[in-house]
Copies of this chain bind each other. A is one copy, B any other.
Amino acid sequence: MRAAPRVVVLAGGVGGGRFVLGMREALRRRDAAVNTEQLTVVVNTGDDLWLSGVRLQPDVDSVMYALAGVNDVNRGWGRQGESERVASELREWGATWPWFTLGDLDLGAHLARTGWLRDGLTVTEVVARLASRWALGASLLPMTDAEVDTVVEVDTGTGRREMHFQEWWTRYRATLRPLAFRNPGMESAGLPSGVAEAIAAADVVVVAPSNPVVSIGPILAVPGMREAIASSHAAVVGVSPIIGGKVVRGMGDVCLDAIGVATSAAAVAEHYRSRRHGGVLDCWILAEEDAHLASAVESAGIAAVVHPLWMTDVTATAAIAEVALRSAGR
Protein backbone atom coordinates (compact mmCIF):
# COMPACT_ATOMS: atom_id res chain seq x y z
CA MET A 1 0.00 0.00 0.00
CA ARG A 2 1.39 3.39 -0.92
CA ALA A 3 1.61 6.29 1.56
CA ALA A 4 -1.28 8.69 1.75
CA PRO A 5 -0.84 11.62 -0.62
CA ARG A 6 -2.02 15.15 -0.05
CA VAL A 7 -5.42 15.53 -1.62
CA VAL A 8 -7.67 18.48 -2.44
CA VAL A 9 -11.26 17.71 -3.42
CA LEU A 10 -13.48 20.27 -5.13
CA ALA A 11 -16.97 19.40 -3.96
CA GLY A 12 -20.63 20.34 -3.94
CA GLY A 13 -23.11 19.23 -1.32
CA VAL A 14 -24.64 15.80 -0.84
CA GLY A 15 -22.80 13.99 -3.65
CA GLY A 16 -19.62 15.85 -2.73
CA GLY A 17 -20.00 14.86 0.90
CA ARG A 18 -20.49 11.25 -0.04
CA PHE A 19 -17.40 11.26 -2.23
CA VAL A 20 -15.27 12.99 0.41
CA LEU A 21 -16.26 10.33 2.92
CA GLY A 22 -14.91 7.72 0.51
CA MET A 23 -11.73 9.69 -0.02
CA ARG A 24 -11.13 9.97 3.73
CA GLU A 25 -11.65 6.21 3.99
CA ALA A 26 -9.25 5.54 1.10
CA LEU A 27 -6.57 7.71 2.74
CA ARG A 28 -7.09 6.04 6.13
CA ARG A 29 -6.68 2.63 4.56
CA ARG A 30 -3.28 3.74 3.38
CA ASP A 31 -2.35 5.40 6.66
CA ALA A 32 -4.56 5.04 9.71
CA ALA A 33 -2.98 8.16 11.23
CA VAL A 34 -3.80 10.38 8.25
CA ASN A 35 -4.39 13.90 9.50
CA THR A 36 -6.67 16.70 8.45
CA GLU A 37 -3.93 18.46 6.51
CA GLN A 38 -3.78 15.59 4.09
CA LEU A 39 -7.36 16.04 2.91
CA THR A 40 -8.68 19.47 2.06
CA VAL A 41 -12.20 19.96 0.73
CA VAL A 42 -12.88 23.14 -1.20
CA VAL A 43 -16.64 23.47 -0.96
CA ASN A 44 -19.02 25.26 -3.27
CA THR A 45 -20.62 28.28 -1.64
CA GLY A 46 -22.51 29.33 -4.75
CA ASP A 47 -25.73 27.93 -3.35
CA ASP A 48 -25.43 29.85 -0.09
CA LEU A 49 -28.29 32.17 0.65
CA TRP A 50 -29.79 34.66 3.04
CA LEU A 51 -33.27 33.80 4.27
CA SER A 52 -34.98 36.02 6.83
CA GLY A 53 -31.61 37.48 7.71
CA VAL A 54 -30.09 34.08 8.35
CA ARG A 55 -27.17 32.76 6.33
CA LEU A 56 -27.46 29.24 4.91
CA GLN A 57 -24.62 27.24 3.39
CA PRO A 58 -26.26 24.05 2.15
CA ASP A 59 -23.16 22.50 0.58
CA VAL A 60 -20.84 23.33 3.47
CA ASP A 61 -23.32 21.78 5.88
CA SER A 62 -23.83 18.67 3.73
CA VAL A 63 -20.10 17.98 3.51
CA MET A 64 -19.57 18.75 7.19
CA TYR A 65 -22.46 16.55 8.35
CA ALA A 66 -21.26 13.69 6.15
CA LEU A 67 -17.72 13.87 7.54
CA ALA A 68 -19.04 14.18 11.08
CA GLY A 69 -21.28 11.15 10.56
CA VAL A 70 -24.34 13.09 11.72
CA ASN A 71 -26.06 13.25 8.34
CA ASP A 72 -29.39 11.56 7.77
CA VAL A 73 -28.43 8.68 5.50
CA ASN A 74 -31.98 7.49 4.91
CA ARG A 75 -33.37 10.84 3.86
CA GLY A 76 -30.20 11.63 1.97
CA TRP A 77 -29.67 15.12 3.37
CA GLY A 78 -29.72 17.08 6.63
CA ARG A 79 -29.07 15.89 10.17
CA GLN A 80 -30.01 12.64 11.86
CA GLY A 81 -32.77 12.99 14.45
CA GLU A 82 -33.87 16.25 12.90
CA SER A 83 -37.13 17.94 13.89
CA GLU A 84 -39.03 20.88 12.49
CA ARG A 85 -40.64 22.69 15.39
CA VAL A 86 -39.46 26.10 14.22
CA ALA A 87 -40.48 25.38 10.63
CA SER A 88 -43.97 24.36 11.65
CA GLU A 89 -44.27 27.61 13.61
CA LEU A 90 -43.18 29.52 10.53
CA ARG A 91 -45.93 27.82 8.59
CA GLU A 92 -48.40 28.88 11.27
CA TRP A 93 -47.17 32.44 10.85
CA GLY A 94 -47.56 32.20 7.11
CA ALA A 95 -43.93 33.22 6.84
CA THR A 96 -41.72 32.90 3.82
CA TRP A 97 -39.66 29.74 4.29
CA PRO A 98 -42.18 27.06 3.26
CA TRP A 99 -40.11 26.11 0.22
CA PHE A 100 -36.94 25.62 2.22
CA THR A 101 -36.99 22.74 4.66
CA LEU A 102 -35.66 24.11 7.87
CA GLY A 103 -34.66 21.63 10.54
CA ASP A 104 -34.23 22.74 14.13
CA LEU A 105 -30.73 21.28 14.35
CA ASP A 106 -29.86 22.81 11.00
CA LEU A 107 -31.09 26.14 12.22
CA GLY A 108 -28.65 25.98 15.12
CA ALA A 109 -25.84 25.90 12.56
CA HIS A 110 -27.43 28.69 10.53
CA LEU A 111 -27.78 30.98 13.54
CA ALA A 112 -24.29 30.27 14.86
CA ARG A 113 -22.91 31.00 11.40
CA THR A 114 -24.94 34.17 11.01
CA GLY A 115 -23.86 35.48 14.38
CA TRP A 116 -20.20 34.92 13.59
CA LEU A 117 -20.52 36.50 10.14
CA ARG A 118 -22.17 39.53 11.71
CA ASP A 119 -19.38 39.63 14.27
CA GLY A 120 -17.05 40.18 11.31
CA LEU A 121 -15.52 36.73 10.85
CA THR A 122 -14.72 35.71 7.29
CA VAL A 123 -16.56 32.83 5.68
CA THR A 124 -13.35 30.79 5.96
CA GLU A 125 -13.15 31.48 9.69
CA VAL A 126 -16.81 30.66 10.16
CA VAL A 127 -16.49 27.36 8.27
CA ALA A 128 -13.41 26.48 10.34
CA ARG A 129 -15.25 27.26 13.55
CA LEU A 130 -18.24 25.15 12.53
CA ALA A 131 -15.99 22.32 11.39
CA SER A 132 -14.08 22.35 14.69
CA ARG A 133 -17.10 20.88 16.50
CA TRP A 134 -16.22 17.40 15.29
CA ALA A 135 -13.05 15.54 14.37
CA LEU A 136 -13.74 15.56 10.65
CA GLY A 137 -10.42 14.15 9.50
CA ALA A 138 -10.37 16.81 6.78
CA SER A 139 -9.99 20.55 6.37
CA LEU A 140 -13.02 22.39 5.03
CA LEU A 141 -12.50 25.56 3.02
CA PRO A 142 -15.11 27.64 1.25
CA MET A 143 -14.30 28.36 -2.38
CA THR A 144 -14.27 32.09 -1.57
CA ASP A 145 -14.99 34.51 1.26
CA ALA A 146 -17.14 36.63 -1.05
CA GLU A 147 -20.91 36.36 -1.40
CA VAL A 148 -21.48 35.10 -4.92
CA ASP A 149 -24.89 33.44 -4.52
CA THR A 150 -26.06 31.86 -7.74
CA VAL A 151 -28.89 33.53 -9.61
CA VAL A 152 -30.90 31.61 -12.19
CA GLU A 153 -32.62 33.28 -15.07
CA VAL A 154 -35.68 31.22 -15.90
CA ASP A 155 -38.30 31.01 -18.57
CA THR A 156 -41.62 31.20 -16.71
CA GLY A 157 -43.59 30.46 -19.85
CA THR A 158 -44.79 34.03 -20.00
CA GLY A 159 -41.44 35.74 -19.68
CA ARG A 160 -38.01 35.79 -18.10
CA ARG A 161 -37.38 36.08 -14.39
CA GLU A 162 -34.38 35.92 -12.10
CA MET A 163 -34.40 34.07 -8.81
CA HIS A 164 -31.95 32.67 -6.29
CA PHE A 165 -30.68 29.25 -7.22
CA GLN A 166 -32.14 27.73 -4.04
CA GLU A 167 -35.59 29.06 -4.79
CA TRP A 168 -35.42 27.55 -8.25
CA TRP A 169 -33.97 24.29 -6.93
CA THR A 170 -36.08 23.64 -3.87
CA ARG A 171 -39.24 25.63 -4.50
CA TYR A 172 -39.66 24.95 -8.21
CA ARG A 173 -37.72 21.67 -8.21
CA ALA A 174 -35.88 23.03 -11.25
CA THR A 175 -39.06 22.73 -13.31
CA LEU A 176 -38.82 26.29 -14.65
CA ARG A 177 -36.53 26.13 -17.66
CA PRO A 178 -33.20 27.77 -16.80
CA LEU A 179 -31.74 30.12 -19.38
CA ALA A 180 -28.58 31.13 -17.54
CA PHE A 181 -26.75 30.85 -14.24
CA ARG A 182 -24.92 33.85 -12.87
CA ASN A 183 -22.88 34.54 -9.75
CA PRO A 184 -23.10 38.31 -9.24
CA GLY A 185 -19.93 39.66 -7.68
CA MET A 186 -17.82 36.74 -8.84
CA GLU A 187 -15.55 38.96 -10.94
CA SER A 188 -14.32 40.72 -7.81
CA ALA A 189 -14.23 37.59 -5.63
CA GLY A 190 -10.96 35.89 -4.80
CA LEU A 191 -9.55 32.73 -3.28
CA PRO A 192 -9.74 32.70 0.47
CA SER A 193 -6.72 32.08 2.64
CA GLY A 194 -5.56 28.49 2.34
CA VAL A 195 -7.05 27.41 -0.97
CA ALA A 196 -4.15 28.34 -3.27
CA GLU A 197 -1.72 26.96 -0.68
CA ALA A 198 -3.59 23.66 -0.39
CA ILE A 199 -3.74 23.24 -4.17
CA ALA A 200 -0.06 24.14 -4.52
CA ALA A 201 0.88 21.58 -1.85
CA ALA A 202 -1.42 18.86 -3.19
CA ASP A 203 -0.34 15.67 -4.89
CA VAL A 204 -3.82 15.10 -6.27
CA VAL A 205 -6.74 17.43 -6.98
CA VAL A 206 -10.04 15.64 -7.43
CA VAL A 207 -13.13 17.11 -9.03
CA ALA A 208 -15.90 15.33 -7.14
CA PRO A 209 -18.93 13.88 -8.97
CA SER A 210 -20.99 16.96 -8.14
CA ASN A 211 -23.19 19.07 -10.39
CA PRO A 212 -20.81 20.48 -13.04
CA VAL A 213 -22.84 23.66 -13.51
CA VAL A 214 -24.00 24.81 -10.08
CA SER A 215 -21.53 23.05 -7.76
CA ILE A 216 -18.21 22.68 -9.57
CA GLY A 217 -19.00 25.57 -11.93
CA PRO A 218 -18.92 28.29 -9.25
CA ILE A 219 -15.77 26.80 -7.68
CA LEU A 220 -13.89 26.96 -10.97
CA ALA A 221 -15.29 30.44 -11.65
CA VAL A 222 -13.65 32.01 -8.60
CA PRO A 223 -10.89 34.24 -10.00
CA GLY A 224 -7.57 32.56 -9.29
CA MET A 225 -8.97 29.03 -8.95
CA ARG A 226 -8.20 27.85 -12.47
CA GLU A 227 -4.77 29.48 -12.28
CA ALA A 228 -4.02 27.74 -8.97
CA ILE A 229 -5.00 24.40 -10.50
CA ALA A 230 -3.11 25.06 -13.72
CA SER A 231 0.11 25.87 -11.91
CA SER A 232 -0.11 23.05 -9.34
CA HIS A 233 2.19 20.06 -9.68
CA ALA A 234 -0.76 17.91 -8.63
CA ALA A 235 -2.49 15.61 -11.05
CA VAL A 236 -6.11 16.62 -11.55
CA VAL A 237 -8.63 13.79 -11.69
CA GLY A 238 -12.33 14.18 -12.25
CA VAL A 239 -15.02 11.68 -11.33
CA SER A 240 -18.01 11.67 -13.65
CA PRO A 241 -21.33 12.70 -12.09
CA ILE A 242 -23.05 11.11 -15.08
CA ILE A 243 -23.63 7.36 -15.13
CA GLY A 244 -25.11 5.73 -18.20
CA GLY A 245 -26.04 9.10 -19.66
CA LYS A 246 -28.02 10.08 -16.58
CA VAL A 247 -27.41 12.23 -13.54
CA VAL A 248 -27.26 10.10 -10.41
CA ARG A 249 -29.24 12.50 -8.26
CA GLY A 250 -30.52 16.04 -8.44
CA MET A 251 -31.36 17.95 -11.55
CA GLY A 252 -27.97 18.32 -13.15
CA ASP A 253 -29.25 17.44 -16.62
CA VAL A 254 -31.44 20.54 -16.69
CA CYS A 255 -28.46 22.64 -15.63
CA LEU A 256 -26.20 21.10 -18.26
CA ASP A 257 -28.82 21.68 -20.90
CA ALA A 258 -28.97 25.37 -19.96
CA ILE A 259 -25.27 25.81 -20.68
CA GLY A 260 -25.41 23.72 -23.86
CA VAL A 261 -23.64 20.64 -22.54
CA ALA A 262 -25.08 17.18 -23.15
CA THR A 263 -25.83 14.93 -20.18
CA SER A 264 -22.97 12.64 -21.08
CA ALA A 265 -19.85 11.64 -19.18
CA ALA A 266 -17.76 12.61 -22.22
CA ALA A 267 -19.46 15.96 -22.72
CA VAL A 268 -18.88 16.93 -19.10
CA ALA A 269 -15.19 15.98 -19.35
CA GLU A 270 -14.92 18.06 -22.52
CA HIS A 271 -16.66 20.91 -20.71
CA TYR A 272 -14.03 20.78 -17.95
CA ARG A 273 -11.38 20.47 -20.69
CA SER A 274 -7.92 19.05 -20.61
CA ARG A 275 -5.37 20.90 -18.54
CA ARG A 276 -3.13 20.73 -21.61
CA HIS A 277 -5.73 22.77 -23.48
CA GLY A 278 -6.29 25.39 -20.80
CA GLY A 279 -8.82 23.35 -18.83
CA VAL A 280 -8.58 21.58 -15.53
CA LEU A 281 -8.48 17.80 -16.11
CA ASP A 282 -5.58 15.39 -16.52
CA CYS A 283 -7.74 12.34 -16.05
CA TRP A 284 -11.44 11.45 -16.04
CA ILE A 285 -13.03 8.46 -14.39
CA LEU A 286 -16.07 7.14 -16.22
CA ALA A 287 -18.64 4.64 -15.09
CA GLU A 288 -18.63 1.17 -16.62
CA GLU A 289 -21.93 2.09 -18.24
CA ASP A 290 -20.10 4.82 -20.14
CA ALA A 291 -17.01 2.80 -21.12
CA HIS A 292 -17.79 3.41 -24.80
CA LEU A 293 -17.16 7.13 -24.23
CA ALA A 294 -13.57 6.60 -23.05
CA SER A 295 -12.13 7.13 -26.52
CA ALA A 296 -13.97 10.45 -26.89
CA VAL A 297 -12.51 11.59 -23.57
CA GLU A 298 -9.03 10.49 -24.65
CA SER A 299 -9.48 12.40 -27.91
CA ALA A 300 -10.03 15.52 -25.85
CA GLY A 301 -6.58 15.08 -24.33
CA ILE A 302 -7.81 13.63 -21.05
CA ALA A 303 -6.74 10.21 -19.77
CA ALA A 304 -9.83 8.02 -19.35
CA VAL A 305 -10.27 5.41 -16.64
CA VAL A 306 -13.33 3.19 -16.36
CA HIS A 307 -14.56 2.06 -12.95
CA PRO A 308 -17.89 1.37 -11.19
CA LEU A 309 -19.10 4.78 -10.00
CA TRP A 310 -22.13 3.97 -7.83
CA MET A 311 -21.36 5.39 -4.37
CA THR A 312 -23.63 2.84 -2.65
CA ASP A 313 -21.61 2.76 0.56
CA VAL A 314 -18.30 3.95 1.98
CA THR A 315 -16.45 0.87 0.75
CA ALA A 316 -17.63 1.35 -2.82
CA THR A 317 -16.88 5.07 -2.64
CA ALA A 318 -13.43 4.46 -1.12
CA ALA A 319 -12.70 2.19 -4.08
CA ILE A 320 -13.60 5.03 -6.47
CA ALA A 321 -11.40 7.41 -4.48
CA GLU A 322 -8.55 4.89 -4.52
CA VAL A 323 -8.85 4.64 -8.30
CA ALA A 324 -8.69 8.44 -8.49
CA LEU A 325 -5.48 8.43 -6.43
CA ARG A 326 -3.91 5.70 -8.54
CA SER A 327 -5.00 7.40 -11.75
CA ALA A 328 -3.11 10.43 -10.50
CA GLY A 329 -0.03 8.24 -10.17
CA ARG A 330 -0.29 8.10 -6.37
Binding site for B on A (CB under 8 A): 51-55, 83, 85-90, 92-97, 104-105, 107-109, 111-112, 114-119, 129-130, 133
Contact = CB atoms under 8 A, between A and B. Distances in A.
Given A54-B54, A55-B53, A118-B52, A85 B112 contact: no
Contacts of A108: 85-90, 92-93, 95
Contact of A52 (B94, B111, B130): B111
A90 B110 CA distance: 9
23 contacts: A51-B115, A52-B111, A52-B112, A52-B114, A53-B54, A54-B54, A54-B114, A85-B108, A86-B104, A86-B108, A86-B111, A87-B108, A89-B104, A89-B109, A92-B108, A93-B112, A93-B129, A94-B133, A95-B115, A95-B116, A96-B119, A97-B115, A107-B107
A184 to B, nearest CB: 18
B95 A111 contact: yes
A112 B133 contact: no
A90 B112 contact: yes
Most buried by B among A93, A97, A105, A109: A93
A51 B114 CA distance: 9
Given A53-B53, A53-B54, A92-B133, A97 B111 contact: yes
Contacts of A54: 52-54, 111, 114
A273 B89 CA distance: 43
A104 B92 CA distance: 13
A118 B114 CA distance: 15
Most buried by B among A95, A105, A116: A95
A115 B53 contact: yes
A150 B92 CA distance: 30
Contacts of A53: 53-55, 114-115, 117-118
Contacts of A107: 86, 89, 107
Contacts of A130: 93
A15 to B, nearest CB: 25
Given A53-B53, A118-B52, A119-B96, A111 B90 contact: yes
Most buried by B among A94, A104, A109, A111: A111
